[in-house]
Amino acid sequence: MRALRYALYLLLALMGLWGGLGFWHWYAESRAPQAPRPHDEAAREVPEESARALPRRREAVFRMQEQELAQAPERTRIDPRWVEKNRAGIEKLKARELEAAVKLFEECVAGVPEETVFRANAAEACARLGNQQWEQGSKENREAGLAHMRRALELAPSREDIAQRIEQMQRLLASEDGHWTESLDHYELSFDGNRSDLLWDSLTLPPLLESIYGEYGEHFDCWPVERGREKIRIVLYTREEFHAATGIGHWAGGVFDGAVRIPVTDLKKDKREIERVLRHEIAHAFVHYAGGRSVPGWLNEGLAQWLESSDFVTRAQRVAAARKQFGDGPKIALSELGGSLADLKEEPRIQRAYQQSLLLVDRIEKEYGERLLFQMVQGCAQDKRPEATFRDAIQLELQVILDEL
Protein backbone atom coordinates (compact mmCIF):
# COMPACT_ATOMS: atom_id res chain seq x y z
CA MET A 1 0.00 0.00 0.00
CA ARG A 2 2.84 2.41 0.85
CA ALA A 3 4.48 1.70 -2.53
CA LEU A 4 1.20 2.45 -4.27
CA ARG A 5 0.88 5.73 -2.41
CA TYR A 6 4.43 6.74 -3.40
CA ALA A 7 3.50 5.96 -7.00
CA LEU A 8 0.48 8.21 -6.70
CA TYR A 9 2.64 11.01 -5.32
CA LEU A 10 4.95 10.61 -8.36
CA LEU A 11 1.98 10.65 -10.73
CA LEU A 12 0.65 13.79 -9.06
CA ALA A 13 4.02 15.47 -9.55
CA LEU A 14 4.08 14.55 -13.26
CA MET A 15 0.58 15.87 -13.76
CA GLY A 16 1.74 19.12 -12.22
CA LEU A 17 3.82 19.79 -15.38
CA TRP A 18 0.67 20.69 -17.30
CA GLY A 19 -2.06 21.10 -14.66
CA GLY A 20 -0.17 22.16 -11.56
CA LEU A 21 -0.94 25.84 -11.74
CA GLY A 22 -4.67 25.27 -11.56
CA PHE A 23 -4.30 22.77 -8.71
CA TRP A 24 -2.07 25.00 -6.60
CA HIS A 25 -4.36 27.95 -7.18
CA TRP A 26 -7.26 25.90 -5.82
CA TYR A 27 -5.13 24.59 -2.96
CA ALA A 28 -3.92 28.07 -1.99
CA GLU A 29 -7.46 29.41 -1.97
CA SER A 30 -8.74 26.51 0.15
CA ARG A 31 -5.96 26.89 2.71
CA ALA A 32 -5.76 30.68 2.79
CA PRO A 33 -6.76 32.20 6.14
CA GLN A 34 -9.97 34.19 6.19
CA ALA A 35 -9.71 37.94 6.57
CA PRO A 36 -9.99 38.82 10.27
CA ARG A 37 -13.26 40.31 11.42
CA PRO A 38 -14.33 41.76 14.76
CA HIS A 39 -15.54 39.11 17.18
CA ASP A 40 -18.97 40.72 17.68
CA GLU A 41 -19.53 40.80 13.90
CA ALA A 42 -18.82 37.07 13.72
CA ALA A 43 -21.26 36.43 16.52
CA ARG A 44 -24.06 38.33 14.77
CA GLU A 45 -23.57 36.56 11.46
CA VAL A 46 -25.04 33.06 11.60
CA PRO A 47 -24.78 31.47 8.13
CA GLU A 48 -27.32 28.83 7.21
CA GLU A 49 -24.47 26.30 6.86
CA SER A 50 -23.40 26.84 10.48
CA ALA A 51 -26.97 26.61 11.71
CA ARG A 52 -27.41 23.28 9.97
CA ALA A 53 -24.19 21.94 11.44
CA LEU A 54 -25.24 22.57 15.04
CA PRO A 55 -26.05 20.37 16.68
CA ARG A 56 -26.35 16.93 15.13
CA ARG A 57 -27.75 14.14 17.19
CA ARG A 58 -25.03 11.59 17.86
CA GLU A 59 -25.29 8.29 19.64
CA ALA A 60 -23.00 5.38 20.34
CA VAL A 61 -23.09 2.38 18.06
CA PHE A 62 -24.05 0.27 21.05
CA ARG A 63 -23.91 0.99 24.77
CA MET A 64 -23.63 -1.71 27.40
CA GLN A 65 -24.65 -0.86 30.94
CA GLU A 66 -22.21 -2.20 33.51
CA GLN A 67 -23.91 -4.69 35.80
CA GLU A 68 -23.76 -4.85 39.59
CA LEU A 69 -21.58 -7.62 41.03
CA ALA A 70 -22.72 -10.10 43.67
CA GLN A 71 -20.57 -10.10 46.80
CA ALA A 72 -21.65 -13.45 48.20
CA PRO A 73 -22.45 -16.76 46.49
CA GLU A 74 -25.94 -18.16 46.72
CA ARG A 75 -24.76 -21.49 48.13
CA THR A 76 -23.98 -21.54 51.84
CA ARG A 77 -21.54 -24.45 51.80
CA ILE A 78 -18.77 -23.20 49.60
CA ASP A 79 -15.09 -23.36 50.38
CA PRO A 80 -14.15 -19.95 51.88
CA ARG A 81 -11.18 -19.65 49.52
CA TRP A 82 -13.57 -19.27 46.55
CA VAL A 83 -15.61 -16.68 48.44
CA GLU A 84 -12.41 -14.76 49.12
CA LYS A 85 -11.31 -15.00 45.47
CA ASN A 86 -14.70 -13.65 44.43
CA ARG A 87 -14.25 -10.66 46.75
CA ALA A 88 -10.73 -10.11 45.45
CA GLY A 89 -12.06 -10.20 41.89
CA ILE A 90 -14.61 -7.52 42.73
CA GLU A 91 -11.87 -5.29 44.14
CA LYS A 92 -9.77 -5.78 41.00
CA LEU A 93 -12.75 -4.89 38.84
CA LYS A 94 -13.39 -1.71 40.84
CA ALA A 95 -9.71 -0.80 40.35
CA ARG A 96 -10.12 -1.37 36.59
CA GLU A 97 -7.59 -4.22 36.67
CA LEU A 98 -9.76 -6.19 34.30
CA GLU A 99 -7.42 -9.01 33.30
CA ALA A 100 -6.69 -9.79 36.96
CA ALA A 101 -10.42 -9.72 37.73
CA VAL A 102 -11.21 -12.13 34.89
CA LYS A 103 -8.51 -14.52 36.11
CA LEU A 104 -9.88 -14.57 39.68
CA PHE A 105 -13.50 -15.01 38.63
CA GLU A 106 -12.59 -17.76 36.15
CA GLU A 107 -10.80 -19.59 38.96
CA CYS A 108 -14.00 -19.37 41.03
CA VAL A 109 -16.04 -20.75 38.11
CA ALA A 110 -13.56 -23.60 37.63
CA GLY A 111 -13.69 -24.37 41.36
CA VAL A 112 -17.49 -24.27 41.68
CA PRO A 113 -18.95 -24.46 38.14
CA GLU A 114 -22.57 -24.56 39.28
CA GLU A 115 -22.40 -21.35 41.36
CA THR A 116 -24.41 -18.72 39.45
CA VAL A 117 -22.87 -15.75 41.29
CA PHE A 118 -19.37 -16.72 40.18
CA ARG A 119 -20.53 -17.17 36.60
CA ALA A 120 -22.37 -13.84 36.55
CA ASN A 121 -19.37 -11.97 37.93
CA ALA A 122 -17.00 -13.67 35.50
CA ALA A 123 -19.33 -12.76 32.61
CA GLU A 124 -19.38 -9.11 33.64
CA ALA A 125 -15.59 -9.00 33.94
CA CYS A 126 -15.14 -10.64 30.53
CA ALA A 127 -17.59 -8.20 28.95
CA ARG A 128 -15.80 -5.16 30.38
CA LEU A 129 -12.42 -6.51 29.30
CA GLY A 130 -13.81 -7.26 25.84
CA ASN A 131 -15.04 -3.70 25.46
CA GLN A 132 -11.72 -2.29 26.68
CA GLN A 133 -9.74 -4.40 24.24
CA TRP A 134 -12.07 -3.50 21.37
CA GLU A 135 -11.63 0.20 22.05
CA GLN A 136 -7.83 -0.11 21.89
CA GLY A 137 -8.30 -0.31 18.15
CA SER A 138 -5.81 -2.77 16.63
CA LYS A 139 -7.02 -5.82 14.72
CA GLU A 140 -5.49 -8.12 17.35
CA ASN A 141 -7.16 -6.27 20.22
CA ARG A 142 -10.52 -6.21 18.48
CA GLU A 143 -10.35 -9.97 17.91
CA ALA A 144 -9.33 -10.51 21.54
CA GLY A 145 -12.22 -8.29 22.64
CA LEU A 146 -14.66 -10.33 20.58
CA ALA A 147 -13.29 -13.55 22.10
CA HIS A 148 -13.81 -12.25 25.64
CA MET A 149 -17.31 -11.10 24.76
CA ARG A 150 -18.14 -14.57 23.45
CA ARG A 151 -16.82 -16.06 26.68
CA ALA A 152 -19.06 -13.66 28.60
CA LEU A 153 -22.08 -14.98 26.70
CA GLU A 154 -21.08 -18.57 27.49
CA LEU A 155 -21.08 -17.67 31.17
CA ALA A 156 -24.32 -15.67 31.04
CA PRO A 157 -26.36 -16.88 28.04
CA SER A 158 -29.45 -14.94 29.14
CA ARG A 159 -27.78 -11.53 28.80
CA GLU A 160 -29.21 -10.03 25.64
CA ASP A 161 -26.93 -6.98 25.83
CA ILE A 162 -23.87 -9.20 25.45
CA ALA A 163 -25.43 -11.06 22.52
CA GLN A 164 -26.23 -7.75 20.82
CA ARG A 165 -22.71 -6.47 21.43
CA ILE A 166 -21.22 -9.60 19.84
CA GLU A 167 -23.44 -9.17 16.79
CA GLN A 168 -22.37 -5.54 16.50
CA MET A 169 -18.66 -6.39 16.85
CA GLN A 170 -18.93 -9.06 14.17
CA ARG A 171 -20.72 -6.63 11.84
CA LEU A 172 -18.04 -3.97 12.30
CA LEU A 173 -15.22 -6.44 11.73
CA ALA A 174 -16.90 -7.70 8.57
CA SER A 175 -17.38 -4.14 7.32
CA GLU A 176 -13.61 -3.78 6.93
CA ASP A 177 -13.02 -7.02 5.05
CA GLY A 178 -10.89 -6.28 2.00
CA HIS A 179 -10.04 -2.74 3.12
CA TRP A 180 -6.63 -1.31 2.43
CA THR A 181 -4.88 0.12 5.47
CA GLU A 182 -2.37 2.93 5.33
CA SER A 183 -0.24 3.42 8.43
CA LEU A 184 0.47 7.07 9.21
CA ASP A 185 2.49 8.45 12.12
CA HIS A 186 -0.47 8.44 14.53
CA TYR A 187 -3.32 6.87 12.55
CA GLU A 188 -4.35 3.84 10.57
CA LEU A 189 -6.43 4.88 7.60
CA SER A 190 -8.75 2.13 6.32
CA PHE A 191 -10.94 2.22 3.20
CA ASP A 192 -12.06 0.19 0.21
CA GLY A 193 -9.11 0.15 -2.17
CA ASN A 194 -11.48 -0.31 -5.12
CA ARG A 195 -12.77 3.23 -4.63
CA SER A 196 -10.49 5.16 -6.95
CA ASP A 197 -11.87 8.47 -5.64
CA LEU A 198 -10.66 7.69 -2.13
CA LEU A 199 -7.38 6.25 -3.37
CA TRP A 200 -6.61 9.51 -5.16
CA ASP A 201 -8.19 12.18 -2.96
CA SER A 202 -7.09 10.57 0.34
CA LEU A 203 -3.66 12.07 -0.36
CA THR A 204 -4.99 15.22 1.32
CA LEU A 205 -5.95 13.45 4.57
CA PRO A 206 -2.58 12.65 6.23
CA PRO A 207 -1.51 16.28 6.78
CA LEU A 208 -4.97 17.17 8.07
CA LEU A 209 -5.10 14.22 10.46
CA GLU A 210 -1.60 14.79 11.80
CA SER A 211 -2.31 18.48 12.41
CA ILE A 212 -5.43 17.54 14.41
CA TYR A 213 -3.38 15.06 16.46
CA GLY A 214 -0.81 17.73 17.31
CA GLU A 215 -3.47 20.31 18.18
CA TYR A 216 -5.45 17.93 20.42
CA GLY A 217 -2.31 16.54 22.02
CA GLU A 218 -1.49 20.05 23.20
CA HIS A 219 -5.05 20.74 24.34
CA PHE A 220 -5.52 17.54 26.32
CA ASP A 221 -1.84 17.15 27.32
CA CYS A 222 -2.28 13.64 26.00
CA TRP A 223 -0.16 11.90 23.38
CA PRO A 224 -1.75 8.43 23.19
CA VAL A 225 0.49 6.84 20.54
CA GLU A 226 3.68 8.11 22.18
CA ARG A 227 2.46 6.61 25.46
CA GLY A 228 2.01 3.17 23.97
CA ARG A 229 -1.59 3.14 22.71
CA GLU A 230 -2.48 1.84 19.29
CA LYS A 231 -2.72 4.29 16.43
CA ILE A 232 -6.13 5.89 15.98
CA ARG A 233 -8.13 4.02 13.34
CA ILE A 234 -9.98 6.07 10.74
CA VAL A 235 -12.41 3.98 8.67
CA LEU A 236 -14.03 5.49 5.58
CA TYR A 237 -17.25 4.04 4.13
CA THR A 238 -19.87 4.79 1.57
CA ARG A 239 -23.01 6.02 3.30
CA GLU A 240 -24.73 2.68 2.69
CA GLU A 241 -21.76 0.76 4.15
CA PHE A 242 -21.67 3.07 7.16
CA HIS A 243 -25.34 2.48 7.88
CA ALA A 244 -24.99 -1.30 7.47
CA ALA A 245 -21.90 -1.43 9.72
CA THR A 246 -23.08 0.82 12.54
CA GLY A 247 -26.85 0.54 12.37
CA ILE A 248 -27.04 4.34 12.70
CA GLY A 249 -29.38 6.29 10.47
CA HIS A 250 -28.36 8.14 7.33
CA TRP A 251 -28.49 11.46 9.20
CA ALA A 252 -25.29 10.60 11.14
CA GLY A 253 -22.03 12.30 10.24
CA GLY A 254 -19.77 9.81 12.02
CA VAL A 255 -19.17 7.77 15.14
CA PHE A 256 -16.34 6.89 17.51
CA ASP A 257 -16.45 3.38 18.98
CA GLY A 258 -12.73 2.86 19.51
CA ALA A 259 -12.31 3.68 15.82
CA VAL A 260 -13.44 6.82 14.01
CA ARG A 261 -15.95 5.75 11.36
CA ILE A 262 -17.34 8.22 8.84
CA PRO A 263 -19.31 7.98 5.59
CA VAL A 264 -17.67 9.67 2.60
CA THR A 265 -19.55 10.33 -0.62
CA ASP A 266 -17.19 12.78 -2.34
CA LEU A 267 -14.00 13.47 -0.41
CA LYS A 268 -12.92 16.36 -2.64
CA LYS A 269 -16.30 18.07 -2.85
CA ASP A 270 -17.22 17.62 0.82
CA LYS A 271 -13.77 18.24 2.29
CA ARG A 272 -14.89 21.02 4.68
CA GLU A 273 -17.72 18.94 6.13
CA ILE A 274 -15.48 15.87 6.36
CA GLU A 275 -12.85 17.93 8.19
CA ARG A 276 -15.52 19.08 10.65
CA VAL A 277 -16.68 15.52 11.27
CA LEU A 278 -13.12 14.24 11.67
CA ARG A 279 -12.33 16.94 14.20
CA HIS A 280 -15.51 16.11 16.13
CA GLU A 281 -14.95 12.34 16.24
CA ILE A 282 -11.20 12.56 16.94
CA ALA A 283 -12.08 14.90 19.82
CA HIS A 284 -14.18 12.05 21.26
CA ALA A 285 -11.14 9.79 20.92
CA PHE A 286 -8.95 12.21 22.88
CA VAL A 287 -11.64 12.68 25.54
CA HIS A 288 -11.67 8.89 25.92
CA TYR A 289 -7.87 8.65 26.09
CA ALA A 290 -7.47 11.55 28.53
CA GLY A 291 -10.51 11.06 30.74
CA GLY A 292 -11.68 7.48 30.37
CA ARG A 293 -15.25 6.24 30.37
CA SER A 294 -16.54 8.47 33.16
CA VAL A 295 -16.44 11.79 31.28
CA PRO A 296 -20.08 12.99 31.35
CA GLY A 297 -21.96 13.33 28.09
CA TRP A 298 -22.39 17.10 28.33
CA LEU A 299 -18.62 17.70 28.59
CA ASN A 300 -17.79 15.07 25.96
CA GLU A 301 -20.25 16.41 23.39
CA GLY A 302 -19.75 20.03 24.33
CA LEU A 303 -16.00 19.81 23.75
CA ALA A 304 -16.39 17.82 20.52
CA GLN A 305 -18.70 20.50 19.11
CA TRP A 306 -16.48 23.32 20.36
CA LEU A 307 -13.42 21.76 18.69
CA GLU A 308 -15.11 21.19 15.32
CA SER A 309 -13.34 24.25 13.96
CA SER A 310 -9.92 25.67 14.82
CA ASP A 311 -11.02 29.02 13.35
CA PHE A 312 -12.45 31.27 16.08
CA VAL A 313 -14.76 33.07 13.60
CA THR A 314 -16.45 29.83 12.50
CA ARG A 315 -16.60 28.68 16.12
CA ALA A 316 -18.27 31.94 17.14
CA GLN A 317 -20.82 31.52 14.37
CA ARG A 318 -21.70 28.03 15.53
CA VAL A 319 -21.99 29.11 19.16
CA ALA A 320 -24.25 31.97 18.05
CA ALA A 321 -26.39 29.48 16.10
CA ALA A 322 -26.70 27.29 19.20
CA ARG A 323 -27.58 30.33 21.32
CA LYS A 324 -30.32 31.37 18.90
CA GLN A 325 -31.82 27.87 18.88
CA PHE A 326 -31.48 27.45 22.65
CA GLY A 327 -33.33 30.63 23.52
CA ASP A 328 -34.40 31.35 27.10
CA GLY A 329 -36.09 28.05 27.91
CA PRO A 330 -35.36 25.87 30.95
CA LYS A 331 -31.91 24.34 31.45
CA ILE A 332 -31.39 20.59 31.69
CA ALA A 333 -29.81 19.45 34.96
CA LEU A 334 -26.24 18.22 34.53
CA SER A 335 -27.19 15.12 36.50
CA GLU A 336 -29.39 14.14 33.52
CA LEU A 337 -26.52 14.59 31.06
CA GLY A 338 -24.00 12.17 32.53
CA GLY A 339 -24.43 9.46 29.89
CA SER A 340 -25.06 9.58 26.17
CA LEU A 341 -27.25 12.56 25.31
CA ALA A 342 -29.26 10.24 23.06
CA ASP A 343 -30.53 8.56 26.24
CA LEU A 344 -32.88 11.51 26.69
CA LYS A 345 -35.03 9.85 23.97
CA GLU A 346 -37.13 12.85 22.94
CA GLU A 347 -35.63 14.56 19.89
CA PRO A 348 -36.29 18.20 20.96
CA ARG A 349 -34.78 17.49 24.37
CA ILE A 350 -31.72 15.82 22.78
CA GLN A 351 -31.19 18.84 20.52
CA ARG A 352 -31.49 21.14 23.50
CA ALA A 353 -28.95 19.05 25.43
CA TYR A 354 -26.43 19.43 22.59
CA GLN A 355 -26.99 23.19 22.44
CA GLN A 356 -26.68 23.58 26.20
CA SER A 357 -23.50 21.48 26.28
CA LEU A 358 -21.81 23.64 23.64
CA LEU A 359 -22.93 26.88 25.28
CA LEU A 360 -21.69 25.76 28.71
CA VAL A 361 -18.29 24.70 27.36
CA ASP A 362 -17.98 27.98 25.47
CA ARG A 363 -18.92 30.02 28.56
CA ILE A 364 -16.33 28.23 30.70
CA GLU A 365 -13.66 28.89 28.07
CA LYS A 366 -14.53 32.57 27.75
CA GLU A 367 -14.72 33.23 31.49
CA TYR A 368 -11.94 31.00 32.84
CA GLY A 369 -9.83 29.82 29.92
CA GLU A 370 -9.76 26.67 27.84
CA ARG A 371 -7.17 24.98 30.07
CA LEU A 372 -9.83 24.42 32.74
CA LEU A 373 -11.99 22.48 30.27
CA PHE A 374 -9.24 19.96 29.60
CA GLN A 375 -8.39 19.73 33.31
CA MET A 376 -12.03 18.77 33.90
CA VAL A 377 -11.61 15.91 31.41
CA GLN A 378 -8.33 14.79 32.98
CA GLY A 379 -9.89 14.79 36.44
CA CYS A 380 -12.40 12.17 35.32
CA ALA A 381 -9.51 9.70 34.85
CA GLN A 382 -8.89 10.08 38.59
CA ASP A 383 -12.59 9.63 39.45
CA LYS A 384 -12.97 13.36 40.07
CA ARG A 385 -16.18 14.82 38.70
CA PRO A 386 -15.92 17.91 36.45
CA GLU A 387 -18.00 19.87 38.95
CA ALA A 388 -15.38 19.18 41.64
CA THR A 389 -12.48 20.16 39.37
CA PHE A 390 -14.28 23.39 38.49
CA ARG A 391 -15.07 24.17 42.15
CA ASP A 392 -11.49 23.55 43.28
CA ALA A 393 -10.09 25.77 40.52
CA ILE A 394 -12.58 28.67 40.63
CA GLN A 395 -14.13 28.44 44.13
CA LEU A 396 -17.53 28.54 42.48
CA GLU A 397 -20.20 25.97 41.76
CA LEU A 398 -20.60 25.01 38.11
CA GLN A 399 -24.37 25.28 38.57
CA VAL A 400 -23.98 29.06 38.87
CA ILE A 401 -22.49 29.19 35.36
CA LEU A 402 -25.23 26.93 34.00
CA ASP A 403 -27.92 29.16 35.52
CA GLU A 404 -26.41 32.18 33.76
CA LEU A 405 -26.55 30.67 30.26
Residue 34 forms part of a structural domain: no
Same-domain pairing of 299 and 405: yes
Same-domain pairing of 251 and 320: no
Q: Is the dihedral of CA 286, 291, 293, 297 positive or negative?
A: negative
Are residues 336 and 287 in contact, defined by beta-carbon separation less than 8 angstroms?
no
Same-domain pairing of 100 and 144: yes
Which of the listed residues 247, 271, 289 is the one where a domain comes to its end?
289
Question: Regarding beta strands 179-183 and 232-237, do their DSSP bridges make them parallel or antiparallel, or are they unpaired?
Answer: unpaired
Which amino acid would we find at residue 8? L
CA atoms within 13 A on the CB side of 56: 23
> pTM of the full predicted structure?
0.79
User: In whole angstroms, what is the distance from residue 274 CA to residue 265 CA?
Assistant: 10
Please give the angle made by the CA atoms of 311, 337 and 124, to the nearest 5 degrees. Answer: 115
User: In whole angstroms, what is the distance from residue 16 CA to residue 14 CA?
Assistant: 5
Same-domain pairing of 198 and 251: yes
Same-domain pairing of 301 and 282: no
User: In whole angstroms, what is the distance from residue 54 CA to residue 282 CA?
Assistant: 17
Residue 50 forms part of a structural domain: no
Same-domain pairing of 281 and 302: no
Residue 195 sits in a domain whose CATH number is 3.30.2010
DSSP alpha helix (H) spans, 231-270: 239-246
Domain containing residue 189: 177-289
Same-domain pairing of 188 and 131: no
Residue 1 forms part of a structural domain: no
Same-domain pairing of 166 and 88: yes
Residue 67 forms part of a structural domain: no
Same-domain pairing of 343 and 356: yes
Which of the listed residues 113, 148, 175 is the one where a domain comes to its end?
175
Residue-level pLDDT at 168: 92
- pLDDT, averaged in runs of 10, over the chain (405 residues): 46 42 36 31 36 44 58 68 94 94 96 93 96 86 95 97 95 91 93 83 87 97 94 93 85 87 90 94 96 95 96 94 93 94 88 96 97 98 96 96 94
Same-domain pairing of 164 and 196: no
Residue-level pLDDT at 18: 38
Same-domain pairing of 134 and 184: no
Residue-level pLDDT at 279: 97
Residue 104 sits in a domain whose CATH number is 1.25.40.10
Residue-level pLDDT at 71: 61
Residue 49 forms part of a structural domain: no
User: In whole angstroms, what is the distance from residue 268 CA to residue 78 CA?
Assistant: 66
Which of the listed residues 261, 289, 317 is the one where a domain comes to its end?
289
Same-domain pairing of 311 and 402: yes
Residue-level pLDDT at 289: 94
Helix axis angle, 370-380 to 386-394, nearest 10°: 130
CA atoms within 13 A on the CB side of 383: 3
Provide the domain count of the chain: 3
User: In whole angstroms, what is the distance from residue 405 CA to residue 390 CA?
Assistant: 16
Are residues 50 and 318 in contact, defined by beta-carbon separation less than 8 angstroms?
yes
